[in-house]
Each structure stands twice: as structure tokens, then as C-alpha cells.
Amino acid sequence: GKGILAVDESTNTCGKRLASIGVENTEENRQAYRGMLFTTEGLGKYISGAILFEETLFQDHADGESMVAKLEKQGIVPGIKVDKGISPYNDSEEVITGGLEDLNERCAEYAALGAKFTKWRAVIKIGNGIPTQECIDANMKALADYAKIVQNNSMVPMVEPEVLMDGDHSVQSCFEATAKCLKTLFSMLNANDVSLKGTILKPNMVVSGTEAPMQASVSEVAELTLKVLKENVPSDLAGIAFLSGGQSDLLATEHLDAMNKLGKLPWPLSFSYGRALQQAALKSWLGQGENTLSAQEAFSHRAKMNRLAALGKWAEDLEG
């Protein structure tokens, strides 16, 4: 039932989070915020791994101990985001993720610093005539090339083919795009001789576009997401840890719980949330040291609720 904390926001994205609570985007403030999360008492009961941004992997906590050591003390495995972000694909509105050219050298360095797993995110947009199969192929090939390099460096690759929620598309459009991505991804992974037993999938859930006039219900999201996984994901994959992708804290928990209540699956279905785990803590913290405990309590509660959801044991009345 444990999940993975995604705290790998780039300096720019972390700055947006801090700006939302009126806190300046300095290294000291990023250090204070992430240090607050990592020293939450008992966090290891709900979280088994944390995806870090490169800055954090090299960083020390304010008390002088490394951030990696803070996680390891809680029994949390440190991982790292290794892609270098997105750029336009073929001068279109579609995008491709970069970072392969020096990945082998960086992986050796990250492993020496204590990272045990890695993450690479491919971004797939739904819109007028997109995604194209050509763009899906290019992104999934990059994911497969990345995964092989990571396994060659004795770390576990987390592959993240994210079909974005942005837009007014239907839940069916999301299902179709997700199916194409997963089918292509596993074909590419197999062609690259990537061990699926040593690979984690971090997919989107099958949801309606954020601006869609008709929003799929919780049960519909759960059923369609399981359907797309069962039809396209091999059973020997190590595990699946969903991204939250802009869902609200509560909805991300509710969707995960609904899937796990639907019965036995070939893989554990867990969570690898960023905003959906951190948002309540961020709002409670506000950059003030005296708010540390209340922020940690909010964070711990959210992590606990998602662990229950990963076991199919969450209920709305536990939220109080």
C-alpha cells in the first residue's frame, strides 16, 4: 500500500508552488520546504520512495545532514528525475522529451550519490489531430532507450507516459490515446530488452479533459483505467504507481481507491503523486517555521489516505 512521493519539481515549477503561498523562490526556501516534508514523523509508514530533483539529491538539510540521509532514516528509497524536459516536436504543438545524450554518465553519478531509481516523463497532448502515432513512437522510443540505460547502471527505471488532462476532450479520447501510448511503450521496451520485472509504470488515469462539458464519474474512471491497463500492460511488470496529473487531492485518492476495490490485478496499483500529496502541506506551511508541525500533519494525513486507497480501504468518513 505504500506509494512514491514525487518531489522532483524543477526550480521553475517549485517556484510557482512557493509563489502560490507568497514565498520567494530561493534555494534556502526550497531546502526548507523539502526538508519539512522529509522529516515528517512516521512518513515511511505510507511512502516507500521519493523522486527528487537533481538539486535535492546533492543538497543538505538545514541541520547539515544530507536530504538523502533524511529519507533513508525513514526507510524511504531515494530516486531522481533524469529527463531534461520537453521541446516542440517537428515544429508542431506536440512535444518530445530530451536528456538521453549524457544520461549514462549522469546515471553513474546519481547511483554513487545513493539514487536507486529514476524517472523520465513523456508528455502526450490530446487536441485537433493529435496525438500523432509518429510523436507517440518518438516519445515511447526515448522512454525505452532511457530505461535500458538506467538498468545498465543498476537502477530501476520509472517510465511515465503522461496523457495530459488539459483540453475539452472526452474520457473516451483519453482512453484511446492512453491505449496507443501503452501499447507502443511496451513494444519498444521489449525491443530494447528492458526487464519489466525491474520497471515501474507511472501512467495517467483515464479521465475527461479538464474543460470537457461531461466529466466521467469516479466509477467510470476506475473501470476505464483498469480496462486500458489490462489490455495493454504485461502481467510481469513490477508495479504501477499513478500520477495525479492535476486532479484534486481528494479525487486522486478516491479514484485510486475505486480501482483497488474492483478486485485482484496482476500488479500492485499505487500512487506517485506530487501536487496531490503536497498541496495541503504547502498551504499549511506558508514558509513559516512555526507552521512546520501543522504542515507535516496535513502531509502525513494525505499520505495515509493514499496508502489506504492503494489497499482499497479508503472511505470518505476517514478524511475528517
Q: What positions carry a catalytic annotation? A: 160, 202
C-alpha span between 17 and 31 (Å, rounded): 13
Cβ burial 18-48 (10 Å sphere, 16+ → b, else e)? beeeebeeeeeebbbbbbbbbbbeebbebbb
> Of the candidates 316, 313, 314, 279, which has an alpha carbon nearest to the alpha carbon of residue 298?
279
C-alpha span between 2 and 151 (Å, rounded): 23
Q: Between β-strands 269-273 and 3-7, what pairing exists: parallel, antiparallel or unpaired?
A: parallel
**Cis upstream peptide for 213 (omega within 30°):** no
Could you tell me which residues come within 8 angstroms of residue 288 by beta carbon, excluding any fewer than 6 positions away? none
Cβ proximity of 151 and 144 under 8 Å = no
- One-character DSSP codes across 36-93: HHHT-TTGGGTEEEEEE-HHHHHPBPTTSSBHHHHHHHTTPEEEEE----EEESTTSS
Interhelix angle 292-310/27-38, nearest 10 degrees: 50
Specify the residue for cell string 508495479.
239
C-alpha span between 200 and 75 (Å, rounded): 19
Give the DSSP H/E element, type plus range, for residue 119: strand 117-124
